[in-house]
C-alpha cells in the first residue's frame, strides 16, 4: 500500500506542472520558439501580446485561463502568443526581452525599430481580459476605408485600385473591431471599406434596410469594377464564416469574379478544419 501511495504521489507531481497552463493544445495561443518568433510577432500585421512564462509559476497558472479567454475574444483583430522560458532553446529569447519574472506580458507595437522589428513594451495594468483587449485594440492598424458621399463617390472608390473591395454597411458611428481586424488579415489582398447609414443615397441604391450587410465588389464580365458587380454575403456576422466567404476574392482581381447573378447564391459553409487553421495571413 505504501509503495502504491508513493508511486501515485510521484505520478501526480509529474503531471501537475504541465496541466492547466500549457498552451500546446490551444488554437488561439501559439507556443513560440526563436524560429517562430519573427513570423508570428515581427512579420505579423496584427498587434501582438506575448506571455513569457514558466510552467512551475503559480501566477502563470492563474493568468492562463484569462489569457486563453482573451486570445479567443481577440481572434479577429489581435494575436496572443506565449513563450516558455523554462525551455533551453527559448532562454535567449526571454533574455533578449529582459524577462526577469513570471509571468511577463509584453505588447508589440506595429511601429518598428531600425532593425525592422516591432517595438516591445511591458504591460503594467491589471491583467484582466478587459484591459488586455483594450491594449491590443490600441495597436490595431487602421486599414479600413470609410466611403462618404453618394454613388459617384462609391464608384470612384471602386475604380481606384484593381483589387476586390468588401464594403460593410453599418449604422455604427465607428468601424467595428471585427471589420478592422479583417482589413488587417486581408491587407493587400482585399480592400475593406465601410459605408455608414448617414450615406442615404448609397443605402437606398442597394436597398439596405437592416445592418450589418456586406457586399463584395469584383470585376464584371469586362474585367471592370462597377457599382453593379457585386456578391452579397448572406451568412452570420461571425469571424470564421466571413473569412471563408472573402477568401475566394483575395486572389488576383485581374481574374474575373462571379457576375452579379451570383449574388443570389448563398456562400459555402466553411468546414471545421479550415476555420480551425486560420493564420495571420488570411
Helix locations, 16-123, DSSP H: 34-37, 58-73, 91-96
What pLDDT does residue 280 have? 63
What pLDDT does residue 279 have? 52
Tell me the C-alpha distance between 21 and 128, whole Å: 17
DSSP string computed for 19-39:
TTT--TT-SSEEEP-HHHHII
What pLDDT does residue 255 have? 47
Alpha-carbon 253 to chain mean position: 23
Assess contact for 105 and 74: CB atoms under 8 A: no
> Residue 236 has which C-alpha cell?
452570420
What pLDDT does residue 21 have? 44
Alpha-carbon 191 to chain mean position: 16
User: pLDDT below 50 — which residues of the chain?
Assistant: 5-7, 9-21, 252-278
Superfamily of domain 145-275: Glutaredoxin (3.40.30.10)
Sheet of 230-232, strand order: 145-146, 191-196, 165-170, 213-217, 230-232
Tell me the β-bridge partners of 166. Answer: 192, 216
What pLDDT does residue 112 have? 83
What pLDDT does residue 220 have? 87
CATH code given to domain 19-138: 3.40.30.10
Q: Give residue-wise pLDDT tens across range 186-200.
A: 999 999 999 999 999
> Residue 134 has which C-alpha cell?
483594450
- All CATH 3.40.30.10 domain ranges of the chain, comma separated, are 19-138, 145-275
For the chain, how are helix, strand and coil distributed in percent, rounded to 5? 40, 20, 45
Amino acid at each position: 500500500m505504501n509503495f502504491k501511495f508513493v508511486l501515485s504521489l510521484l505520478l501526480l507531481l509529474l503531471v501537475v506542472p504541465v496541466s492547466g497552463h500549457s498552451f500546446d493544445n490551444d488554437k488561439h495561443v501559439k507556443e513560440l520558439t526563436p524560429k517562430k518568433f519573427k513570423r508570428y510577432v515581427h512579420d505579423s500585421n496584427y498587434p501582438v501580446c506575448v506571455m513569457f512564462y514558466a510552467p512551475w509559476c503559480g501566477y502563470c497558472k492563474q493568468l492562463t485561463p484569462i489569457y486563453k479567454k482573451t486570445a479567443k475574444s481577440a481572434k479577429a483583430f489581435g494575436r496572443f502568443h506565449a513563450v516558455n522560458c523554462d525551455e533551453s532553446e527559448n532562454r535567449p529569447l526571454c533574455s533578449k526581452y529582459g524577462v526577469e519574472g513570471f509571468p511577463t506580458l509584453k505588447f508589440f507595437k506595429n511601429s518598428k525599430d531600425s532593425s525592422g522589428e516591432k517595438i516591445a513594451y511591458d504591460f503594467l495594468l491589471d491583467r484582466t481580459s478587459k484591459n488586455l483587449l483594450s491594449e491590443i485594440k490600441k495597436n490595431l492598424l487602421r486599414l479600413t476605408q470609410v466611403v462618404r458621399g453618394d454613388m459617384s463617390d462609391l464608384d470612384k472608390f471602386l475604380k481606384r485600385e484593381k483589387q476586390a473591395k468588401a464594403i460593410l454597411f453599418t449604422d455604427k458611428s465607428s468601424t467595428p473591431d471585427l471589420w478592422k481586424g479583417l482589413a488587417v488579415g486581408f491587407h493587400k489582398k482585399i480592400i475593406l471599406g465601410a459605408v455608414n447609414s448617414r450615406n442615404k443615397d448609397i443605402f437606398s441604391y442597394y436597398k439596405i434596410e437592416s445592418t450589418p450587410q456586406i457586399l463584395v465588389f469584383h470585376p464584371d464580365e469586362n474585367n471592370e469594377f462597377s457599382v453593379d458587380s457585386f456578391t452579397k454575403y448572406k451568412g452570420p456576422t461571425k469571424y470564421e464564416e466571413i473569412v471563408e466567404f472573402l477568401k475566394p476574392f483575395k486572389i488576383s482581381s485581374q481574374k474575373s469574379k462571379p457576375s452579379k447573378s451570383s449574388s443570389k447564391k448563398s456562400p459555402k459553409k466553411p468546414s471545421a478544419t479550415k476555420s480551425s487553421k486560420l493564420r495571420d495571413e488570411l
